[in-house]
Structure 1
């Protein structure tokens, strides 16, 4: 590994903006009127505690690919970082002026096992507020887009398959754990579509057309 690539880690300074802002939003739970988010589809989705595994794997998932791109593809790293930062900042602004909350969490658990204990711990540390759009879903989509566009991973079908499979489980976990409404998930997809236009669509427009400049691509 080229440790000189660590210079790009300055992007992580964004968390000194994100975390204090997010903590402020979480701490105003009892002093702010929140808009309750609910979709009729939420009532048809059962609580399944086993989804706590992919839900928690999300943290390692985002960290792994962020580090991977930082060391292997600087352009992809900054594109992914820009995608995540724009989306997370949009989430903070939305939560500041349009505070949201859920009333989906079960009042009691029908089973008692280690996975339920993990969910209890999650519920204690994460309030059911500031939920729209789901950052779990948005950041997962960001990684999927970066992986799909990465030329170095183009031939690694198994890696891409595992990535997409885990991404689906992570997105489902937000709903099966009652951490998010279907509305939050849809909002995350919409936000990802908007941010994509700013980060990636503009890059595609600027990229030279191979058919128009064949000489430039001769080996």
Structure 2
């Protein structure tokens, strides 16, 4: 097989990569919001937020979110096309809803500490995070939503459910990431709850509804084959 044939076969096998073009919609929209939502935004706050301490060590799972989401996406991309489409549909729909909410109701936080009680490498990492990421466009939390979305995809994968260590490691990491959003004062409890609500709602449409349609279609097919 020559290079041209190999390239054609590769493109045909991974033609579902077109889904990643969503980044061309998401990133410009998100960067616009980050640049323009700097004042006159709705402040998200709960009394529970004031009782949650700042713990800089949670910067580790918070940053591992990027690796976690990328790894889960790539796993499904290369091994389970149907699972990849479902995961992308869930996550990208939620991310679009997030952009719409941030556009129609600009929001932000006033939770970040003005001073740090300790001085260590983890605090330095948090400082870098604060400089790179504005405390605006926070509801619902995409760190939380996408972590839940990855767990939903893993839970609904027959192949991954057989590997308990991998599955439960992913669930634990996702849990730590969700906690990190609050302990680092990156998100309010309200942002977290909104992310859970959005994930649960979209799960019904992407996974539950689809699961009900498949058996029904199978019964209809069996009937006509008789």
TM band (smaller chain): over 0.9
1:3 to 1:117, Cα distance in 2 relative to 1, 3 A? farther
Give the CA deviation at 1:190.
0.6
Q: How does 1:65-214 map to 2 (within 5 A)?
A: 65-208=72-215
Task: Please state if 1:16 is matched with 2:24.
Answer: yes
Q: How far apart are residue 7 of structure 1 and its match?
A: 2.6
- In structure 2, the CA distance between the partners of 1:203 and 1:22, relative to structure 1 (3 Å rule), is same
Output one character per residue of 1:110-133: Cα deviation in whole Å (capped at 9) or x when no partner.
111111010000000100000000
- What is the CA deviation profile of residues 149-169 of structure 1, one whole-angstrom value per residue up to 9, with x for unaligned ones? 000112111001100000000
Q: Which has the higher helix share?
A: 2
- Which structure 2 segments of 5+ residues have no match? 1-8
> Residues of 1 paired with 2:155 and 2:167: CA distance?
7
Name which of 40, 64, 79 aligns with 2:71.
Answer: 64
Higher-Rg structure is: 2
Determine the structure 2 residue equivalent to 1:45: 52
Deviation at 1:3, TM superposition (A): 5.0
Distance 1:117 1:138 in 2: 26
1:36-88 deviation digits (Å, cap 9, x = unpaired): 00111101100000000000000010000100001111000000000011000
> Which region of structure 1 is more displaced relative to structure 2, 141-150 or 5-14?
5-14
TM-score, length basis structure 2: 0.89
Distance 2:126 2:15 in 1: 37
Q: Please list every run of at least 4 consecutive aligned residues from structure 1 whose deviation after the TM superposition is greater than 3 angstroms.
A: 2-6
- The Cα shift of 1:97 comes to 0.4
Tell whether the 8 Å contact from 2:56 to 2:183 is kept in structure 1 after alignment.
yes
RMSD: 2.0
What is the DSSP-based 3-state SS (H/G/I as helix, E as strand, rest coil) of the residue aligned with 2:14? helix
Counterpart residue number, 2:37: 29
User: Unaligned regions of 5+ residues in structure 1, if any?
Assistant: none
